[in-house]
Structure 1
Amino acid sequence: MKKQLYRVAYCLVALCLLQSCDKGLEELNINPDASSTVSPDFVFTKAQYDAVGNMITGLQGTMQYTTSYNDVASWGSKYIFNQGTAPYTVFSNAYPNEINEIGEVIRALEKDANQVNKLAIAKIWRVYCFSKITDLYGDIPYTQAGLGYTQSVFKPTYDPQKDIYADMLSQLEKALASFDTAKPTFGAADLIYGGDITKWKKFGYSLMLRMGMRMTKPDVALAETWVKKAIAGTLIQDDADIAKITYLASGQVINQNPLAYWMLNSDYLKADGVSNPEGGKFYDTFINYLKKTNDPRLPVLSVVYVNGKPSTDVSIQKGMSANIPNTKPADFVTYSEPNPNTILKLNAPMLVLTNAEVNFYLAEAAIRGWYSTKTAAVLYDQGLKASMRQWALYGNDGVISQANIDTYATANALITSNSTAKQLEQLYTQFWVSIFPNSQEVFLNWRRTGYPALTPNNYTGNITGGKIFRRMLYPATEENLNKENYIGAVARQGENTFLTRMWLDKE
């Protein structure tokens, strides 16, 4: 009997110990530094950082802003691609980051009617994120994108770009109509506008204007419809409404200007004009144009190192040829490179969508007869002047005097007596200068308009036959891990090459 009691007692103690052990293990399995629920505000901030920082930096060379004597480093300007991941960057980074993040934000907000403003802003940002991807690659995963965690969709289908644009514009229009001034917004969690609904409306309609203009090649009637819808709304036309993210000079990398960070760590960190690891300098096409037109932005953008010190002296600025073979030239130090006091500042802003860009689009609309409130000449002038004023956002070294702005604007006024083609050439050549350093946006607009009329670089060994890129490449991981849908996209759109023309680029 005693033995039986001992056995029972032993089992009870063991059971209690086991339960106690389980309880402790359950607590150990909980990460004290993580949350089991999404905080929309925090994730939205991250989605903004990730989307703005996700870019094809090599397009600086494609748009003939910068180049390098190094063949590998200058794939964008020499069209040589034997290794690396540069053409895949935006696609590969977008889905696990900003697309997944903004999807989580929307799912967390859409069940609460009180969060209608946050939801509208998140949906506008989602359109911005997807527009960047499809504009570079064409057909992409869209309707099934970001559903791996919630619906186990690990092999999303690719949607046709035409359908993607139709849905994005529809989503944008609905989001803009849903704002309610009586409801809360993101506030400080919104890095661009601090949750200001009025400014987000301007951003949304300006994004609609940009996307409407994108469609002038494949469907000019549809383009006109959406451009006029955007104009009927409220647009970014004042310096105070520029969509931008401001960064910090120190701290975590995510808080620093991503373009400046890339440039510094690729080439210009030593700041002596000689020790550039990737061999980068400004392209002669860009510097020559700035000098030829006496552009007051030249000393703001460019320096030449003299005795180890950066000089903004306009007379010595000199761009480097993209045809220099894979050897460092003896006069390397004499070539211009980005100004460390403006472009290379880690706390410089990233301009997402500006009043300069909007005014240039409106000028095109006026030339096409889609807008009559102001003339093309006035809108072009407004865009040009705004593009010069915005350099003041980079600090004192970016300030251009009003007198210099006015002199340049007068000397380069739009010649309205020219043909439509000639006016568009003048307009979008100025766009090329004015939107720098946003080379990705300039590339997308060049692909649409053909301006500026850049001379392609037929460098020995290039893979495009001396032609400028038309699109970026789907990453090899898609061919391996999402093969069936990848094959379907290629069969519909064309080969996965730099020269394949997507729907937006059809002639």
Structure 2
Amino acid sequence: MKNFFKKYLIKTALVSGLATGLSSCTKDFVALNTNPDAVSTGTPQFIFSKAQYDGTGNMLNLLLGTMQYTTSFNDVAGFGSKYVQSQANSSSSAFSNAYPNEINEIGEVIKGVTGDAAKVNLLAEARIWRVYCFSRLTDLYGDIPYSQAGQGYTNSIYAPVYDAQKDIYANMLAELDAAATSLDAAKITFGSSDLIYGGNTAQWKKFAYSLMLRLGMRMTKVDANAAQTWATKAIAGGVILADADVAKVAYVGSGQDINKNPLALNLLNSDYIKADGKSNTEGGKYQDVFINYLKTNTDPRLPVISVVYTTGTADTTSANQKGMSAMLSTKPADFVTFSEPRQNTLLLLSSPRIVFSAAESYFLLAEAALRGWYSGATATASYQNGISAAMRQWAIIAGANGTISTNQINTYIRYHQLNTAGTFAQQMEQIHTQFWVGVFPDAQEVFANYRRTGYPALVPNNYVGNATGGLIFRRMLYPVSEQNLNTASYKAAIARQGADSFLTRVWWDKQ
């Protein structure tokens, strides 16, 4: 960040000096060298759309491997499931991509609409989206630039301080509270520039309270009282429970890449574009842990999300699905027989990207009920509603190809009842194992939930040459550029939080 603005200022100075020197040659120099198509002030609506695209697109796909959904025999592509030391710096990409894109963009939107009472909804929705973007970032890295982030151009802050995650959480929750309260259905909205809800203020309010529930529950181990306070406030405000209210970014699936589902685009380009089961450039397949779980539990989602190319065509038969081991280091002779994502569901470029699902709300409500923080429904009812919503959402993602019948859903639930006679830990394991299956493919959110709860009880892949001593990592590494360009702030952060290591736990991730 610092380097970019240095270059910008140097270029500006050179251009200014050149203009002065040539003033005697032509008095129309400035006019002749001004781009007639450029604007001096950004349009908040356009920037908001871009911030939504970038915020949704900036995800660490390597976490699909970490949460043991996918793997690869290729060490480079397999970092997420193998934690290979030589590829450790790939974990910094979310940080590097966020600040010049969605963080900077949503900051510009907020500046552009602040102070205008008529634009209260635009401000509120921008604040909510800013919390979403920052929450994903801080949950990956812990302490990050927050209060001074994105102020290089406006305030010449090229080396922003890293705020403590505890303080970031306090501010994000306060922002959600204020933004949700300020929404006014009678005022103007972003309209069609809002790729999630089309400006629907009632749905934005549910999204805000759903994020509040997520962040509140994140604090259960580090500050149970605060967790309860924010979770109950969120529940009272009203969270996403209906399929129609699911927060999702829509994509058209054609034209420029920004118009295509970013997860599907990434997976297709890295591995699955040929759809033959053998020409996978980076050697990716579903991991055996995930496929075995789905098969063992006769999960109706398996044929929806998975195919195997045994005869040159896509076969969705559940009995034929097979996951690949994360311990492979070379391409196996039977590589074609392993399962991979289905082209017209998970790899559909025109499918929406779910940002917050009804399933997640229900699973968190099930835990809240288990803790005695929620009396609106039993833990059993919320747990079952979570499973049902998680299965229905595949129709939201892929239409008819993702549809799971009501009978299939009810049959699955009948054989997967919450064991209310079990211990708190046993019921938590059931709830959050279903969270793992139900929130897929949002591996980043599952990674955060796994670190908080310990579920599902994944066994680490102790691959030769891994960076963690055979343990599932707890956070991502800061970019090397931060050590060089923001040295003082970087050093202060690690002095407070702990070493810039995969095994350093962030504030809310307590044992």
Same fold (TM over 0.5): yes
TM-score, normalised with respect to structure 2 = 0.94
Map of 2:188 onto structure 1: 184
1:471–1:499 Cα contact (<8 Å) kept: yes
Extract structure 1 runs of 4+ deviating beyond 4 A: 17-20
Give secondary structure in 2 for the equivalent of 1:67: strand
* Paired amino acid for 2:27: D
| Paired position in structure 2 for 1:319 | 323
Q: Secondary structure at the match of 2:184?
A: coil
Amino acid at match of 1:375: T
Which residue in 2 is equivalent to 1:9? none
Matches within 5 A, 1:129-168: 129-168=133-172
- Write the letter of the residue equivalent to 2:276: D
CA distance in 2, matches of 1:33, 1:398: 44
Alpha-carbon distance in 1 for matches of 2:508, 2:331: 39
8 A contact 2:89–2:477 mirrored in 1: no
Q: 5+ residue gaps in structure 2?
A: 1-21
Residue 368 (structure 2) pairs with residue 362 (structure 1): no
Contact 1:300 1:398 survives alignment (8 Å): yes
Counterparts of 1:340-489 in structure 2, within 5 Å, are 340-393=343-396, 394-489=398-493
- In structure 2, how many angstroms separate the alpha carbons of the residues matched to 1:88 and 1:47? 20
Provide closer, same or farther for how the CA distance between residues 266 and 208 of structure 1 changes in structure 2, counting only shifts above 3 A: same
1:300 aligns with: 304
**Aligned equivalents of 2:88 and 2:217: distance in 1?**
33
Bigger mean CA deviation after superposition, 208-217 or 392-401: 392-401
d(CA) in 1 for partners of 2:55, 2:64: 18
Residue 239 (structure 2) pairs with residue 231 (structure 1):
no
Q: Does the CA-based 8 Å contact 2:68-2:290 persist in structure 1? A: yes
1:30 alignment counterpart? 34
Which moves more between the two structures, 408-417 or 443-452?
Answer: 408-417
More off after superposition, 304-313 vs 194-203? 304-313
Q: Cα offset for 1:29?
A: 2.4
CA drift at 1:28: 2.9
Q: How high is the TM-score relative to the length of structure 1?
A: 0.95
**Whole-angstrom CA distance in 2 between matches of 1:425 and 1:299:** 25
The two structures, once aligned, show a CA RMSD in angstroms of: 1.3
Q: Which runs of 5+ in 1 are unaligned?
A: 1-16
Taking the aligned partners of 1:423 and 1:84, their CA distance within structure 2 comes to 35
Question: Which residue matches 1:494?
Answer: 498
What's the secondary structure of 2:235's corresponding residue?
A: helix
Single out whichever of 391-400 and 51-60 deviates more from structure 2.
391-400
Take 2:132 and 2:455, find their aligned partners in 1: how far apart are those partners? 24
Q: How many positions carry a matched residue from both structures?
A: 489
Given the alignment of the two structures, is residue 266 of structure 1 paired with residue 270 of structure 2, yes or no? yes
Partner of 2:9: none
Provide the residue aligned with 2:17 in structure 1.
none
CA contact (8 A) 1:56 1:86 kept: no
Cα deviation, 1:377-424, whole Å, max 9, x if unaligned, reads 000111100110110121211111111111001111211111110000
Tell me, what secondary structure is at the counterpart of 2:85?
coil
Map of 1:169 onto structure 2 = 173
The alpha carbon displacement at 1:19 in A equals 8.5
Structure number with greater Rg is 1
1:125 is aligned to 129
Aligned partners of 1:339 and 1:64: how far apart in 2? 17
For 1:158 and 1:504, the matched residues in 2 are separated by: 17
Query: How many Å apart are 1:135 and its aligned residue?
Result: 0.6
Using the TM superposition, give the Cα deviation of residue 506 of structure 1 relative to its aligned residue in structure 2, in angstroms: 2.3
Instruction: Look up the SS of the partner of 1:427 in the other structure.
Output: helix
The 1-side partners of 2:413 and 2:443 are apart by: 23
Instruction: Give CA-to-partner distance per residue, 1:135-182, whole Å, 9 cap, x none.
Output: 110000011001001000000000100011011111111111112222
The answer to whether the aligner puts 1:87 opposite 2:97 as a matched pair is no
Residue aligned with 2:354, SS = strand
Counterpart secondary structure, 2:86: coil
Separation in 2, partners of 1:164, 1:503: 11
The alignment partner of 2:27 has SS state of helix
Alignment match, 1:3: none
2:81 alignment counterpart: 77
Q: Secondary structure at the match of 1:304?
A: strand
Does structure 1 conserve the Cα–Cα contact (< 8 Å) formed by 2:271 and 2:279?
Answer: yes
Does the 8 Å CA contact 2:65/2:78 hold for their aligned counterparts? yes
Residue 333 (structure 1) aligned to one of 331, 336, 361: 336
Q: Residues of 1 paired with 2:268 and 2:36: CA distance?
A: 36
Any conservation in 1 of the 2:165–2:507 contact (CA below 8 Å)? yes
SS class of match (1:244): strand
Q: Give the aligned partner of residue 14 of structure 1.
A: none
Distance 1:169 1:245, change over 3 A: same
